[in-house]
Structure formats: C-alpha cells, structure tokens
Structure 1
Amino acid sequence: MTQQPKRTWFGPATLVAAAFIGPGTVVTASLAGANFGYALLWALVFSVLATMILQEMAARLGVVTQQGLGEAIHQHIASPMLRWGAIALILFAVVIGNSVYQGGNLMGATLGIAGVTGTPQPWMPIVIGGIAIVLLWSGNYHKLERVLIALVMLMSGAFIATLILSQPDWGAFFSGLLVPSLPAGSVLTVVALIGTTVVPYNLFLHAASAAKKWSGDAALADARRDLVVSIPLGGLISIAIVSTAASAFFGHAVQLEGARDLSEALRPLAGDSATWLMAIGLFAAGLSSSLTAPLAAAYALSGLLGYGANLRSLPFRLTWIGVISVGMLIASLKLKPVEVIWLAQVANGLLLPVMALFLLWACNHAMLGAKRNTGWQNLMAGVVVLIATGLGVRSIGAALAFW
C-alpha cells in the first residue's frame, strides 16, 4: 500500500487549478471583463462549483480504486466495441486536442515573457517546451506537484496584486459576483467562461494524480480538503483577471484583442508594476498548462491502453513528448493565439459531456464499493452533465461560426 504523505493543504487538485488557469482562460476572462465589466463574475462562481462536483468524483475514483479514469474505462467496460469507441474518442479529443491546447499554452508563456522584455522571440516556445520536457522527463510526480503548486502561488499573487493595483469598483464587483445577469450579447462569453474552467482532461489528470498521492478510504478527507482549497483558488485567479480587465477597459473607448493588450493598458492605470505582474502571471499560466496538458494526455492514453500510470514508462513518455512536440510546432507557425484557442475549444466541446458521463458511470460502478455516488451526488452530477452537454453544443457552434 502507498505510504501516506504528511498532510498538506495542496495536492493533486492544485494540478487541476494549474491546468484550467492557462492562456485561454486569461484571454477569455480578459475579454469578458473588457466587454461586460463585472456583470459575468457569477458565471465563474458557478464554474467553480461545477468543477468541484466533477473533480471530487474524479479524486474519489483515484483514491478508492488506485486507478485513473482511463484505467477504469479500460478494465470495466465489458463490450470491446464500446471500449475501443471510447479509446478512439479520447485519443482524438484528449491527446490531439491537448496538442492543440499546448500550442496556445506555449504562445501564452511567450507573450508573458514579451510583456517583460518588450519583444516576443520566435524561438521562445521551443525553450519553454524544452523546460516542460526536462521537468516531465524526471518522472517524479512529487517534484512536478511542487513545481505546479509554486506556479499556482505565483499566478495567485501576480493576478490578485494586479487586481488591487487596478482599483476596481468594489460595489459592481460584488454585485456581479452574487447577482446573475445576462447583458445583451453575453451568452457565448458565459459559455466560454464555464468552458475554460470545467475542463474535461482534468478528470483524467485528477483521478490518476490522486491515486499517486493517496490510498485508502481515510485519505478521502485529505483529497477533499485539497479540493476545497485549490479549486476556489483557481476560480479566484479567474475572477481577478475579469475584474482587472473591467477596471482597465470597460466603459473606455479602448479595444482589447488579447491578454498582452491588457498588460499594456494597465501601465497608465496602475503603473509599471501592474504591467509586470500581469506579464508574470501570464507566463506562469502558460508554463503550468504546458506541463499539465501533456501530463493529462499521457495519463489518459496510458490508462486506456492498459499501460498504467508509470511516469517513466516508454509509452507514457512518448505520449507527452508527442503532445509537446506538436504544441511547439503550432506555436512556431506564427498563428494567432485566439485562433488556436478557438480550435482547441472544438475538441473541448466534443469531449466534456461525454467524459462527464464516463465519470458518472465510473462513480456508480461496483468498483467503488461503499464509496459509490449517493443519490444527492448523482443529482448534482446529473445537472452538471446536462449543462456540460449544452456547453458542448454551444461551444462547437460558436467555434464553427468563428471559422
């Protein structure tokens, strides 16, 4: 049995926060604040709650069964046709989809560095991809966890400090946070905010990493404590970005086209320190997601094919190397980051409701024994699945309309 580590407030759920606070989230949250002010902050509160419901199920699956979601699908779907159908779908949406996301992650980290140096360097995505390769090649889960916890702490400090420096309208802030509203033309932005937080590949990442970290029913308390700290912290980062953009852009005759514009706009509003903090936060968001996207793809594919979750095995390493390599290629093609993010959302829209159903099935399976979902947990998860289905349809439609 796995030796229990000493108790800590941060663990695998921090990897989930590191994964969903990427450049796509920074761009989407910035545009939400610039276009609608503080009015859509409530959507992030809902997103955090939905994420906690799904990720609690994923963590419970990992802790109780000592398996990731991919391994559960491989071992417990009896029909070969259904099993290989699931493998094909996840191969397309997680592995290929994450390869596209990886391009956006590397671009985002590069833009963060450019915010400090003043000039984006075409070779920087290769350097950042190389850093990700070195860290993942170590095959040391606990080292990766510590690096990602540090990056989440760096993001938290940078984005929250930037928010304070931007001097937000606190009355409008709390109104947007607590009172749901849908300003004209905001529906797709709400969909995008939810879609950047409730990320399907995080179900694979969380279940497998929880199995690495903990074992036994007693460890569920540790997993849940980690969850209620890390996921709201990630949501707080998103809220800070929306609010900073609202302070800098909403109601002003300035157009925001990307996260770098937000960094530049903060200079007259809050000085050079805010610009640097935003750039540091964007770099940390890009680098953290550059680690979690290939790691999640490797966990998913290795589990589905029955190779297990050995971070030093050849199949595991080949998967994440492939994801990073494709991401570096995409980032080097000088594509517009927003276009890359929209393309990745197509895969996200296809995968999210299906993966939520797979997780719901797994958490009602006999393999969890007495830790299977209760009726209340099934009700909450069912609501999230319905919303995820609507989100998937709308995000696909929005992406197709964009193209």
Structure 2
Amino acid sequence: MRNINTGRKLFNRDTLVLFGPAWLVMMADMDASSYIGAAQTGATLGYGLIWLMLVLIIPLYIVQELAGRISIATRDGLGNIIRKNYGKKIASLVALPMALTDMVTYGIEYLGIGIGLEIMGLSIYYTIPAIYLIHILIVTRKKYNQAEKPLLIMSFFLIIALLLSLSLRGFISMSSPLSNPIMIKPTSGYFFLLAANVGAVIMPFMIFFQASATGLKLTGIDNTSIKISRPRSVTIMRKETLAGAIMTELLMIIAQMAFAGIPHASHASFFSTPGELGSVLTPIAGSLSPIVLGFGLIGAGFIALIAISLGSAWGIAESLNISKNSYWLVYILESLPAAIAIMFINPSSMISLVLYLLIFFVFTLVAPMTMLWIIGRNKKIMGDLVLSKKNEAVYLVMFALIVATACIAVAT
C-alpha cells in the first residue's frame, strides 16, 4: 500500500476519513442557548462584542484540541481515562455535574426546535414527542459513524440558514453607535452579556463528546485497511478543530449581527413564541426571516440534542463503568424529563433563565477542564503527545480567564 502520508489524493482521503468529531461538536456549540445569547447580545449591544467572538476562538480551540489529543493518545473516552487512572469517584465527580446541567440544556434545545417547527405551523405538543423519539432512535440504534453523516449534512444547512438570516436583515448603518465592533462598557449589564457569551463558547458535554467520538472514529479506522499515523491524526484533528472553532464563532457573530439593534428584542421573552419572534424580525428583515430563522433553530437544536446526548451519556457511562449494552437507558432517561417539561412550562420563564445558565455553565467547566490539564501533562498516559510547558501555561491562562469572566459577572 502506498504510504498514507504521501500523495495529494491520499492526503485528501485521510482527512475526509477522520473528519467529523471536532466539526460536529463545534456546530453543536452553536445551539439554541448560544443562539439566544448571541441574539440578545446583538439586540442590546449591536456589533459591540464581535471582538470577543474572535478572541474566543483561541480558548475554544485550545480546550477542544487537548480533548482530541487525549483521545488520539489513548484511543479511549475521557470518562474511561479518568476512571482507569484516577478512580471511579473522581470520574463521577467530573461527569455527574455535566449530566445535571445537560438535563436543563435539553429543555432549551427542545424549546428551540419546537419554536422553529411552530413557525412552520406545527404544534409543539405533537412535534416535541416526535423529535424525542427521532433523537432516541438515532442515538440508540445507530453507531456513531452512522449517526455522524446526517448531522454533518444538517450542520451545513445551519450555516446556510444563519447566512440567509443576516442577508435578510442586512447591515446596520456605519454611522450608528451599534456598528462599533469593539464596544467596552464597564457596566453590570455589559459584563453579564460578556460572561454569557463566554459561557456559550465551551460546555462540559463538548469536552466529553470530542474525546469519545474521536476515539470511536479512530478505533473504527483501525479495523479497516486505511493506516494513518498518530502524528498525522493529530495534525488532521488540529486543523478540523481550528476550522470548527473559527466557524462556530463566525456563526455567533452572524447571529449577533442579524439581531443588531432590533426593537424590543433586547428582552429575553422575545424568543418565547413564534409570534413574538416574527414581530421583532419582520419589520426590518421581511416576512421570510422568521421562517429562515426557524430552520436555523431546528438545525442548531437537533445537532446539539444529539451531540449533548452522546457526549453526556458517554461521560456518565464511562465514568460509572456502565456496559455499552445499557447506554440506551442513559440516553432515554436523561432527556425524557426535559421533553415532558417543555410542553408544560411557560417557555418565556425558561428562556429568561438561559443567559444566567450560560454563566453558570462556566463554573461546571472547572472539573472537566482541570482533569484535561492533569491528564494532558501525564506523560504515562499521553506519551509523546504530553503537554509541553509552554502549551500547559497557555492552557492554564485560558482556563483562568474563562472562570474570571464569570466571577466578574456574578460580582457585578
């Protein structure tokens, strides 16, 4: 066989073979809660936090690159790695808080999908049970590699929907104070939105998802005739992670710009019903804009729903050493309460909590990010992929800045 590392054609093939985990987790990062946070930011500050979105590419890449690198080094999921090397108790302490926050996040994703479908004239009382069943069928009856393909297609529809939303909205005048992409306001409201956007950029499930999905992907490739070296795997993973980090932050910017300065949209309840959503968009962006945004919400919510379910269940099952044959039970039980609750809870009440939850998510990152650092610097586990002193210092600085942002928002 010709060496996989030589030749343009084979270069393209191994990149495509490995493509998926890093890209999907970044697209899942642009979920309904991130959508809401970005829209609220745009409605309140206009283009003012574009600078932050560009800066956030750096910590997003650094954290997710380490998750992918650990999986390449071990061919295993993060939950398994923690349990095998540091004990079941530590693994549980890292995974269970993620599961609790994910149960709330499920509700936001179901809500986003439901609103998108209601814009199409379909009642949430019929669509949410159907979405729940489709979601469960995908995660329980398909292997990761099979579930990945439709999600990759949906991710590109999400990009198109967001671009169309901005196209319909248009750009605000450069003479407007809201057009300034570097807005600094030392106010509590400003720091609150800043922290919410930081909270939206990295969530615990993303760390577990990329680690486990990358390991599953590599294990599947190992069972084929395709041979890809470890250094080559790392290079491809890094490029995909960087591309995904750039794209998801660009999507956040697009969402902010699409809602920049829209009257009445600065109140969180505007996202609670299709009627309210349309009422703020239609006067500026036209009658098609709510429908386009509806497609965007459906795509964002569904990709996130699958990624959260897989990442969270993998983390819990691996940490508690649950048999793979029992994963289906975790999938079903974890998201069922959210699917039921969303049909009975006033959506505006839940939406008003989204930005606060995004800030809270920052604190739930402390345990998994700490374990990433501990594992990444462990030469026994990582081998030649161990963190260098320089990379370790950069990681810790990013970690500290992320947590400090949330602390400042809470303090103010």
**Pairwise same-fold verdict (TM > 0.5):** yes
> In the superposition, relative to structure 1, how do residues 346 and 188 fare at CA in structure 2: closer, same or farther (>3 Å)?
closer
Question: How far off is 1:372 after superposition?
Answer: 0.7
Could you list the runs of 5+ residues in structure 2 that have no partner in the other structure?
5-9, 220-229
Question: How far off is 1:51 after superposition?
Answer: 0.7
Question: Per the alignment, in what secondary structure is the counterpart of residue 272 of structure 1?
Answer: coil
Measured in 1, the distance between the counterparts of 2:296 and 2:169 equals 15
In structure 2, the partner of 1:241 is 255
**Cα shift readout 1:295-316 (whole Å, capped 9, x = no counterpart):** 11111012212347xxxx2332
Measured in 2, the distance between the counterparts of 1:307 and 1:341 equals 31
In structure 1, the partner of 2:68 is 59
**Cα shift readout 1:180-227 (whole Å, capped 9, x = no counterpart):** 623632101000011011112211100111111236332111111211
Identity %: 19
Query: Counterpart amino acid of 2:113?
Result: A
Query: Counterpart amino acid of 1:258?
Result: F
Question: How far off is 1:268 after superposition?
Answer: 2.2
In structure 1, the partner of 2:342 is 331
In structure 1, the partner of 2:35 is 26
Bigger drift between 65-74 and 208-217 goes to: 208-217
In structure 1, the partner of 2:197 is 193
Question: Does residue 103 of structure 1 match 2:114?
Answer: no
Question: Does residue 341 of structure 1 match 2:341?
Answer: no
In structure 1, the partner of 2:311 is 296
- Matched residue count: 383
Question: Per the alignment, in what secondary structure is the counterpart of residue 310 of structure 2?
Answer: helix
Check conservation: 1:53, 1:381, Cα contact below 8 A: yes
Q: 1:271 aligns with which of 258, 263, 286?
A: 286
Q: 1:365 aligns with which of 378, 397, 400?
A: 378
Measured in 2, the distance between the counterparts of 1:324 and 1:277 equals 27
Bigger drift between 383-392 and 320-329 goes to: 383-392
Question: How far off is 1:69 after superposition?
Answer: 1.4
Query: Counterpart amino acid of 2:346?
Result: L
Structural RMSD (CA): 2.7
Question: Per the alignment, in what secondary structure is the counterpart of residue 125 of structure 2?
Answer: coil
Question: How far off is 1:339 after superposition?
Answer: 4.6
In structure 1, the partner of 2:95 is 90
Question: How far off is 1:350 after superposition?
Answer: 3.3
Question: How far off is 1:287 after superposition?
Answer: 1.2
**Cα shift readout 1:252-291 (whole Å, capped 9, x = no counterpart):** 7985633354444222222222221111101111111111
Instruction: Give the structure-2-normalised TM-score.
Output: 0.85
Measured in 2, the distance between the counterparts of 1:373 and 1:220 equals 13
Measured in 1, the distance between the counterparts of 2:177 and 2:138 equals 38
> In the superposition, relative to structure 1, how do residues 253 and 146 fare at CA in structure 2: closer, same or farther (>3 Å)?
closer
Question: Per the alignment, in what secondary structure is the counterpart of residue 7 of structure 1?
Answer: helix
Question: Per the alignment, in what secondary structure is the counterpart of residue 166 of structure 2?
Answer: helix
Question: How far off is 1:21 after superposition?
Answer: 1.2
Question: Per the alignment, in what secondary structure is the counterpart of residue 246 of structure 1?
Answer: coil
Check conservation: 2:43, 2:265, Cα contact below 8 A: no
Check conservation: 1:63, 1:217, Cα contact below 8 A: no
> In the superposition, relative to structure 1, how do residues 143 and 55 fare at CA in structure 2: closer, same or farther (>3 Å)?
same
**Cα shift readout 1:43-65 (whole Å, capped 9, x = no counterpart):** 22222221111000000111121
Measured in 1, the distance between the counterparts of 2:177 and 2:328 equals 44
Query: Counterpart amino acid of 1:389?
Result: V
Could you list the runs of 5+ residues in structure 1 that have no partner in the other structure?
none
Check conservation: 1:58, 1:359, Cα contact below 8 A: yes
Question: Does residue 142 of structure 1 match 2:106?
Answer: no
Instruction: Give the structure-1-normalised TM-score.
Output: 0.87
Q: 2:163 aligns with which of 140, 160, 164?
A: 160
> In the superposition, relative to structure 1, how do residues 255 and 301 fare at CA in structure 2: closer, same or farther (>3 Å)?
closer
In structure 1, the partner of 2:365 is 352
Question: Does residue 305 of structure 1 match 2:305?
Answer: no
Measured in 2, the distance between the counterparts of 1:89 and 1:207 equals 14
Question: Does residue 221 of structure 1 match 2:220?
Answer: no
Q: 1:211 aligns with which of 200, 212, 215?
A: 215
Measured in 1, the distance between the counterparts of 2:288 and 2:106 equals 29
Measured in 1, the distance between the counterparts of 2:84 and 2:66 equals 18
Query: Counterpart amino acid of 1:377?
Result: N
Query: Counterpart amino acid of 1:379?
Result: A
Measured in 1, the distance between the counterparts of 2:296 and 2:52 equals 22
Query: Counterpart amino acid of 1:90?
Result: A
Question: How far off is 1:371 after superposition?
Answer: 0.7
Question: Does residue 74 of structure 1 match 2:59?
Answer: no
Question: Per the alignment, in what secondary structure is the counterpart of residue 135 of structure 1?
Answer: helix
Measured in 2, the distance between the counterparts of 1:88 and 1:220 equals 29
In structure 1, the partner of 2:172 is 169
